[in-house]
Each structure stands twice: as C-alpha cells, then as structure tokens.
Amino acid sequence: MSEFTLSLIITLVKIAVVLGVAMGLGAYLTWFERKLAGHIQARLGPTVVGPFGLLQPLADGIKLLTKEPIIPRGADVPVYYLAIVLALAPAILLFSVIPFGPGFTLLGREIKPIIADVNIALLVVFAMGSLAVYGTIFSGWASNSKYAFIGSLRKAAVIIAYEVVLGFAVLGVVLLAGTLSTTGIVQAQIDKGVWFVFYQPVAFILFLFCMLAESGRVPFDIQEAEAELVTGYNVEYGGMKFGIFPLAEWYLNVMALSAIAVVLFFGGWSGPPILGPLSPYFWFLAKMFGLVFFVIWLHWTLPRFQAKDVTEVAWKIMLPLALVNIIFTAVVVYMRGG
C-alpha cells in the first residue's frame, strides 16, 4: 500500500469519526437544549420517549423524515434545494480545522487528531463562517416569501457586520501566538503556560458576541425572530429540509465555534492528565461543552436586540474596541520583543 493511499485512508477515517460525532452530538444538543430550556423555565422538557426523553432526537428525526414535502409556489426549485447544502456544508467544514488533541503515534505513524492541519486554519474558519450566509440568503430568496426574505437580509447584515469584528478580535490572539494554525495556537498556549483568555479578555468577549451573532443565537437572533418573522429564512421549508437549518446553524455552528473559542482562548486540549492518554480529549470536549452550555444558557436568559441595534453595536462599539485591542496588543508584543 502506497503512502498516498494510506494517508487517504487515515484522512477518510478521521472525516468519518468527526462527521459522525459532530452530527450525533448536534442531534443530541437539540435534546439538551430542550431539557435545559425546560428546567430554566421550571418545566421538565422531553420526558416521554425513552428514559429522560433520551430518544427524542430519533423520534424527531423520524417525524421530520416522514413528513410530506411541500415546495411553495413560485419557488426557485434548484436554488431552494441548493440552499440546504449551502447552509450545512460550511458548518460541517468548520470542524475540519479543529484539533481535538495532541498528535500520537499509532503503528509507527504520526497521527494528528485534526482533519486538515493547514497554516491558514483561522482563515478557513472565517471563510466558512461567512460562506454560511449563502445558505440563509438563498433559502430566503428561493422560497418566494417575504418573511423568509426579510430574515435572510437581516442575517446578511449581521454576518457582514460581525465577520469584520470577528476577524479583528481574533487578530490579538494571532499576534500573541505568531501563527494562524490552530495546532500552533494551542501549542503556543501550552508553551507559555497560560490561556490567552487572560491576556485577551476583551477579544474573548468580542469573539463570544460574534459567535452568538454568527450562529443566530440570542441576543442576536434577529433573522429568526419568532415573534416578528415566524422563524425567518427557513419558514417555507418543511420536514427534514427544515430540520437541517437549525441543526446547522444552532447546533453544528455553535459547537464548531465553541471549539474554535476553546482553541483560541482556553488552551485547547491542555489540562491536568487525570484520564491518562484520553485526558486531552476529555479536556477539549469539556471546555467546548462548557461554552456550548453557556451559549444555550444565554439563549434562554436574554431578550433580543432590535434589528437596527445589532449592526449598530457591531460597527459603533465592537469594531473600535477590537481595533484598540489589536493596537494595544501589537504595541505590547513589540515592546517585549515578540
């Protein structure tokens, strides 16, 4: 077996593992969110299907898959279907640059638990985050409904505003680590022995806000805005076609961006070795789900911003803050001879 085939097989196995874990966890996050939301509101959440309602995602999946497909009149059918792919693909591709742990040796081969260890990993993150906007725009446009279209235009405004802030917020960490590669950033934090959240608290808060805006979570969920727009851009979709959008945006995107936040600010897989060789993975997943929990907790706490406020906050408050943060960081790094 040639070297090329071997590396291809290893990559395919990694893709299969990450895809399976991400999709499975994404489906189960629906259960987790419903349970958490229920208890926050002194309700119970799903309890009927399986113990603690654990089989609820499966039941939902069966329900969504067996629904009648309805396509609105006047819809642009190819674009209508393409929008689903355009929404789901970037969310999944985000997982390709997330390092889940340090490299290890298996049968004499060095294996890194990351699908694509490229030196532009953070650029890929931004690119995929903003490519997700096509899913929303085209789903709203193709379904020939004004509510859906208003939702997608709002999402476009939010994405354009927050992509800029996101890029500038992350630059501080890049300056400190001196690399754009995700493994490199984690390694830099391990070498320095300190998480970057302590050096870059402002950047972390900005990143958190951008993450909420990009994944359509409260308080920036103006594109869904149940009270005004029904559910915004995906209102004309039914069955599993409808199920894909929240799965991609609310769950996969949140998970992937939480993982990126862990990589950037919380030292990735670093942590005391309490589980032997598995402890890096444990720490990574624990930190990631801590953040996911925080996002969902925030979702069920805060009200929604007005549509005009969301972009105003981004351009008028966050962007200047991010710029000041970068300049400050650059000066300090330069002074200390970074």
Partner 1 sequence: MDWLIFGVLSLWLLISVGGAVLVKNPIHSILFFLSAVLATAGLFLALGAELLAGLQIIIYAVAIVVFYVLVITTIPWEKVKRFEGVYKKELIFGVPLLLLVFAMIAYGIYRGKLHDPAIMKADSVRDLGKTLFTSYLFPFEVASVILLVAMIGAILLGRKEE
Partner 2 sequence: MAVKRLGRKDYLNILEAIFFIDFLKGLSVTLRNLFRRPVTTEYPSEKLTPPKRFRGAHGHFVWDGTEPDSLKAIEKFMSYEKGKSRCVACYMCQTACPMPTLFRIEAVQMPDGSKKVTRFDMNLLNCLFCGLCVDACPVGCLTMTDLYELAGYSRRDEVLRMDRLEEFAIDFKKRRGDEPDRIWPVDGEREKLWGRIEWTG
Sheet strands (E) in the chain? 104-106, 109-111
Of partner 1, partner 2, none, which one does residue 44 interact with (CB within 5 to 8 Å by kind)? Answer: partner 2
At 89, give phi and psi (nearest 5°). -60, -50
CA distance 199 to 179: 16
Of partner 2, partner 1, none, which one does residue 192 interact with (CB within 5 to 8 Å by kind)? Answer: none
Residues 226-285 that bind partner 2 (CB under 8 A): none
Of partner 1, partner 2, none, which one does residue 39 interact with (CB within 5 to 8 Å by kind)? Answer: partner 2
The least CB distance from residue 295 to partner 1, in Å, is 23
By the rule CB under 8 A, 297 interacts with partner 2: yes
Q: Which residues contact 61 (CB under 8 A, 6 or more apart)?
A: 27, 240, 243
By the rule CB under 8 A, 324 interacts with partner 2: no
By the rule CB under 8 A, 36 interacts with partner 2: yes
By the rule CB under 8 A, 321 interacts with partner 2: no
**Total residues interacting with partner 2, rule: CB under 8 A:** 14
CA distance 170 to 186: 14
By the rule CB under 8 A, 300 interacts with partner 2: yes
The least CB distance from residue 301 to partner 1, in Å, is 31
Pick 84 or 197: Cβ nearer partner 2: 197
Token output for 5:
């085939």
Helix axes of 319-335 and 146-177: crossing angle, nearest 10 degrees: 10
Sheet strands (E) in 63-108? 104-106
The least CB distance from residue 331 to partner 1, in Å, is 16
By the rule CB under 8 A, 302 interacts with partner 2: yes
Residues 166-195 that bind partner 2 (CB under 8 A): none
Q: Which residues contact 55 (CB under 8 A, 6 or more apart)?
A: 49
Sheet strands (E) in 12-115? 104-106, 109-111
At 106, give phi and psi (nearest 5°). -130, 120
Q: What is the DSSP letter of 212?
A: H
Chain contacts with partner 1 (rule: CB under 8 A): 4, 76, 78-79, 82, 118-120, 123-124, 126-127, 130-131, 133-134, 137-138, 141, 149, 153, 156, 159-160, 163, 180
CA distance 164 to 216: 16
Pick 26 or 167: Cβ nearer partner 1: 167
By the rule CB under 8 A, 47 interacts with partner 2: yes
Token output for 217:
């979570």
Q: Candidates 187-195, 284-292, 299-307, 327-335 — which segment interacts with partner 2 by CB under 8 A?
A: 299-307
By the rule CB under 8 A, 306 interacts with partner 2: no
CA distance 78 to 212: 30
C-beta separation of 322 from 203 below 8 A: yes
At 109, give phi and psi (nearest 5°). -120, 140
The least CB distance from residue 204 to partner 2, in Å, is 12
Interacting residues with partner 2 (CB under 8 A): 36, 38-44, 47, 297-298, 300-302
